[in-house]
Structure formats: C-alpha cells, structure tokens
Amino acid sequence: MRVVIALSIVTVASVLSACGPVQYTKADLDGRIVCDTDRMDRIDSAARREHKEVHWVSCPLATLRVVS
C-alpha cells in the first residue's frame, strides 16, 4: 500500500512539473500590447477617493518595451 501511495505521489509530481510557466524572452514580450493595469489601478483609487463609480468597457492599452 505504501508503494502505491509513493508511486502515485511521484507520478502526480512529475505531471505537475511539466505544467510549469513558459519562460518568455525579450523577443516574445517586446512590442506586445496588453492592458495597462497600473493605469487602471490609479484611476480606480482616484475614483474611490472622490466617491465616484468607474465602469470599465475596455481596458487602456500599453505597449511593452523590454529594456536589456
């Protein structure tokens, strides 16, 4: 019984290790257009301070520039 448990733990660990995150390179990220979450956070916190409501229809976009 202990052998079966040990083998299942090893099998699950090996399967989960194969699902690791992809390591991006500079070429992968440079110029990619993404949501500007920093700007959204600043606008949301300013709205909370002023007791206003913000409803996002689409997110503000930012272009990633990777500096070596």
Determine the residue type at 67. V
**Domain segments of the chain as ranges:** 24-68
Rounded CA-CA distance 30/27 in Å is: 6
Q: Taking a C-beta distance cutoff of 8 angstroms, is the pair 60, 39 a contact?
A: yes
Q: Taking a C-beta distance cutoff of 8 angstroms, is the pair 41, 62 a contact?
A: no
What is the pTM (predicted TM-score) of this model?
A: 0.55
Contacts (Cβ under 8 Å, ≥6 apart) of 47: 53, 54
- Per-residue confidence (pLDDT) for residue 27, from 0 to 100: 80
- Per-residue confidence (pLDDT) for residue 30, from 0 to 100: 85
* Span 11-43, pLDDT tens digits: 888 777 767 677 778 887 788 889 999 999 999
* Span 42-68, pLDDT tens digits: 999 999 999 999 999 999 999 888 887
